[in-house]
Amino acid sequence: MQLGKLAIFLPLWLLCLSQAHVIGVSPEDQHLYSAKIDEDGNQYWTCLNDSSIKLQLSQINDDICDCPDGSDEPGTNACPDSAIKFYCANQGHFSAYIEQFKLNDGVCDYDICCDGSDEYQLGTCENKCDEIHRQFETYKAEQLQILNKALKKKQHVVDLSQRNRKSLINNLEHLERQVPEKKMKLNKLKIQMEDVELQEDTPDLYDILDEHFANLANRIEAYKRDILKQDEQLQKLEKILEELSKGYNPNYNDHAVKESIHKFQEYISNKEDGLQKDFHDITEFVKKIVENAKEHSINIELTGNGNINNDKNKSKSKSNSNHYDGVPSLKNMIHYYFNLFAQNFLIKTPETYVSKLSSNQLAPEIDKLEEELEKIEKTITVIKKDLSSDYGPDDILRAYEKLPISNNLGGYYYRVDFLNSIYQNDVLIGVFKEYKEGKLIFANGARCWNGPKRSATVEFICGEGPAIVSVAEPEKCHYNFVIRGEAWCHPVSEQELLQSFEIDYNLL
């Protein structure tokens, strides 16, 4: 089918005829320069950014700027402010775009247009793409070899930073595990301390007992006086009866008198010795009991059933229990009731058992534990902050944490301790502040004479290292460091290599 006939059936805007090759335009964009046909069958073209501006096809690349965006002059330098660049095909190498002002200026810009097409009007630049591409391939191979070596070294650095991170995490976990255990121990000690303090503050039960015993002693003293009085009267009575038994006249044969005297003599012969010695020293004795009780109670330990279990007292209490079988002596009675009282009122249950340590012994232990805990918690905070800090991709700076580097540059000895500080001879340039946008920031260094505090920015480049390759002082006492190292290398694309590639013109 002929194109003219097709035009009858298709809307005009769809009818775009293929246009001859437009110089300066890439093959992908050639379609933008296709001719359009108006209602009268005439071919035309419109500016790319303004379709109201209709141009003849011959106005494209006619060295006169017609379109505001310069799109009608892709192959000339007629539009000075045009953003449009000239396309070089660079067959055998990489196609590229060159600024229009470089077109046909008599200079062969082989670094961009290796085919010399930027000088197409003069035709003075022969195509050097084959040679340039050969050079590029050699450069690429060298660079990739260096880079692969560097990336292997980088992997070791990454491994080291991961190991450093891991050990930090291990340390954190170890410390975090200690916290609950230590807190529990501290709590226990504090509870013990409270109990001990309470115990120490509580009035001594034995002092209270002492008072009770003193009352008891007074009452016993009163009984004793009564008994002594009665004893005195008894002795008087015995004396009367004794005199009667010696002086009565047996010849009167008075049966009642004889019977009474006989019973009296029987009474005298069976009579026991005088009063016990204990009985005479009641006050002293009660005092001694209280003292003994105090002494013994200190050694009291608890058994599971809450009974007194005092080894020292075991044999005593056993022998004492034998005494309770008979008529209790005053001494035994006091002992018995004291034990009973102590067991019922003085013994604490095992749950409320208090430490044998005094508050003076507990306090330093608590202080020590509190200090330990505080130290641990501080370290935990520091580690957590460290772990959440940005140390670059793959945490790379962590690998250099304890590996400072140094170099003599411009008459100064520089020492960079990555996450710590930078020194110029013995002058502090700055302490590590942060890692920001790929750079290390150091601040708060030694103040400059009549100037600010010293500070620095550290940038990194890929290459053999780590090494300080340059130090500049763009402003007074602010320093720019460049550090080179494999850790800052990364795989590169062919396009990136092309950008760093430099032609050896001697070989052309």
Q: Which residues bind ligand MAN (CB under 6 A)?
A: 424, 427, 448-449, 473, 476-477
Residue 431 beta carbon to ligand MAN: minimum distance, rounded to whole angstroms = 16
Q: How many other C-beta atoms lie within 10 A of the C-beta of residue 479?
A: 22
Residue 281 or 475: the one with the smaller Cβ distance to ligand MAN is: 475
Residue 49 beta carbon to ligand MAN: minimum distance, rounded to whole angstroms = 52
Residue 471 beta carbon to ligand MAN: minimum distance, rounded to whole angstroms = 9
What is the spatial distance between Cα 65 and Cα 48, in angstroms, rounded to a whole number?
13
CB 454, CB 477: distance < 8 Å: yes
What is the spatial distance between Cα 398 and Cα 162, in angstroms, rounded to a whole number?
8
Amino acid at 95: S
Residue 366 or 431: the one with the smaller Cβ distance to ligand MAN is: 431
Residue 222 or 427: the one with the smaller Cβ distance to ligand MAN is: 427
Residue 235 or 425: the one with the smaller Cβ distance to ligand MAN is: 425
Both tokens of residue 335?
């002992």
Nearest to 484 by CA among 500, 463, 470: 463
Residue 485 beta carbon to ligand MAN: minimum distance, rounded to whole angstroms = 24
Residue 427 beta carbon to ligand MAN: minimum distance, rounded to whole angstroms = 5
Q: Does residue 88 come out as left (phi exceeding 0), alpha (psi in the -120 to 50 range) or beta?
A: beta
What is the spatial distance between Cα 140 and Cα 498, in angstroms, rounded to a whole number?
8
Residue 418 beta carbon to ligand MAN: minimum distance, rounded to whole angstroms = 21
What is the spatial distance between Cα 304 and Cα 292, in angstroms, rounded to a whole number?
25
Secondary structure in 3-state letters for 393-451: HHHHHHHHCCCCEEEEECCEEEEEECCCEEEECCEEEEEEEEEECCEEEEEECCECCCC
Residue 474 host element (H or E) = strand 467-475
Both tokens of residue 11?
């809307």
Residue 345 or 449: the one with the smaller Cβ distance to ligand MAN is: 449
Residue 412 beta carbon to ligand MAN: minimum distance, rounded to whole angstroms = 7
Residue 474 beta carbon to ligand MAN: minimum distance, rounded to whole angstroms = 11
- Give burial (CB, 10 Å; 0-12/13-18/19+) of 2: exposed
Beta bridge partners of 414: 407, 424
Residue 340 or 448: the one with the smaller Cβ distance to ligand MAN is: 448
Residue 353 or 413: the one with the smaller Cβ distance to ligand MAN is: 413
Residue 467 beta carbon to ligand MAN: minimum distance, rounded to whole angstroms = 20
Residue 33 host element (H or E) = none
Q: How many other C-beta atoms lie within 10 A of the C-beta of residue 128?
A: 22
What is the spatial distance between Cα 366 and Cα 371, in angstroms, rounded to a whole number?
9
Residue 240 or 427: the one with the smaller Cβ distance to ligand MAN is: 427
Residue 156 or 476: the one with the smaller Cβ distance to ligand MAN is: 476
Which residue's Cβ has the minimum distance to ligand MAN? Answer: 448
